[in-house]
Amino acid sequence: MVEVGGIRLRNPVLLAPMEDVTALPMRRIAKQIANPGLMFTEFVSAMAIHYKAAKTYKKLRVHPEERPLGIQIFGGVPEIMAETARIAESFGPEIIDINMGCWVPKVCKTGSGAALLKDPDRAAEIVAAVVNAVKIPVTVKVRAGWDYSLFAAPDLARRFQDAGAQMITLHARFAKQGFEGEADWNLIREMRDAVRVPLIGNGDVKEPADAIRMLQETGADGVMVGRAAISNPWRLRDIVRAVEAFQSGQPWTNELSVPTMRERIETALEHIRLMIAYEAGVDTYAEADGDKDAEGRACRALRGQIPIYIKGEPGAGAVRGRLTLCSTFGEYEDVLMEFASSVSAG
Ligand SMILES: Cc1cc2nc3c(=O)[nH]c(=O)nc-3n(C[C@H](O)[C@H](O)[C@H](O)COP(=O)(O)O)c2cc1C
């Protein structure tokens, strides 16, 4: 059983923080269908919170159904990170997570994200400042190091643990790699003994067998799943179920659920409805009450994700272009329903 500073996770499968993906609506769907042990918000800029950007504040919203939840924050200035952690805590998450994995230049050039892997003193100072600022557990998500010349994560993780971090997640790639190549799970195994707190492995877990193999080969306490869960809560559920079975000594299977077309389309439409509610600052679509601005923002924000719900179905490629132009719920509904009936007719 993974325990993070006294919070017991019902299973050791974690939904990864993903910018523009793991917003509240996606998490509510992932929770209902897959029920992972812990989920995270997308990363939240400490600087943007400091300057009171409304768009960023919205990312801090927590829904009672999605617990336990970690809010992930990023920044390079200890005092501002501490201030943001306090504000984030007031929104009621179970955990504050610190991002030290984001490799994109706009983040790293501010000394945040993976840039901290090159500055261990500042990184440890940030962890200590955040731990001291809040009452809830603080965790850190790192990459292996900046580039191949230094596997920095084990030493950093030890320092973070000394500063009070209660869990470390390792995305087993170096920052310079971006998403290239395969994640090197040996790095997770090599890091295992560096820390006493739970160690979560991350990188390229795509199906149940990957998750079990990661647990077996690396000694990690849990696995974090990112891309495989995008618009595919069923895959996340397959992984959760297999890991639960594996851990309780039951037989597990690598069989992948095949949701029906109806399930996929209903879930995609529900995702859009929840996104409209989210953009309108309310909990349900009904409460959004035809807020056209919210609807437009929500529909545009999901243009990358909705097509993935039907990916792989014959003919899905042909409607992809139309889905990426939808600006209203009705437009999405028309394209998806038309697609469903063309598939069932074919
Ligand atoms: C679209 C996208 C957005 C991401 N945003 C974040 C983020 O906000 N914070 C973070 O720590 N990692 C972020 N990541 C990295 C993931 O959390 C994860 O470490 C990475 O995708 C590897 O896991 P996977 O192979 O299961 O996808 C993002 C990844 C993707 C694909």
In a shared domain, residues 12 and 150: yes
- As a whole number of angstroms, the distance between CA 235 and CA 255 comes to 10
Is residue 203 within 6 Å of ligand 1 at its C-beta?
Answer: yes
pTM, two decimals, is 0.97
Establish whether 108 is a catalytic residue. no
Closest approach atom of ligand 1 to CA 74 = 9
Question: Among 19, 107, 224, which is best to mutate for testing ligand 1, by the most ligand atoms less than 8 A from CB?
Answer: 19
Q: Is 343 exposed, middle or buried (0-12, 13-18, 19+ CB in 10 A)?
A: middle
Is 256 domain-assigned? Answer: no
Residue 169, beta-bridge partner list: 141, 200
- pLDDT of 224-281, one tens digit each? 999 999 999 999 999 999 999 999 999 999 999 999 999 999 999 999 999 999 999 9
In a shared domain, residues 42 and 160: yes
Is residue 99 within 6 Å of ligand 1 at its C-beta?
Answer: yes
* Backbone dihedral angles phi then psi of residue 256, each to the nearest 5 degrees: -100, 130
Residue 146 maps to which CATH number?
3.20.20.70
Domain boundary among 205, 223, 247: 247
- pLDDT of 281-314, one tens digit each? 999 999 999 999 999 999 999 999 999 999 988 8
> What residue owns the CA closest to ligand 1's atom 1?
18
CA distances from residue 211 to 234, 240, 246, 251, 256 in whole angstroms, order as listed = 15, 9, 10, 14, 13
Token representation of residue 204: 């390229």
Local confidence band at 344 (pLDDT 50, 70, 90 cut-offs):
confident
Domain boundary among 247, 277, 292: 247
In a shared domain, residues 305 and 234: no
> What residue owns the CA closest to ligand 1's atom 22?
203
Strand ranges (E), 79-163? 95-100, 138-143
> What residue owns the CA closest to ligand 1's atom 6?
18
Task: Give me the domain span that covers residue 40.
Answer: 3-247
CB 74 within 8 A of CB 44: yes
Is 112 domain-assigned? Answer: yes
CB 26 within 8 A of CB 271: yes
Q: How many CA atoms lie within 13 A of 236 on its CB side?
A: 29
Give the DSSP letter string of 34-81. Answer: T--SEEEPPPEEHHHHHTT-HHHHGGG---GGG-SEEEEEE-S-HHHH
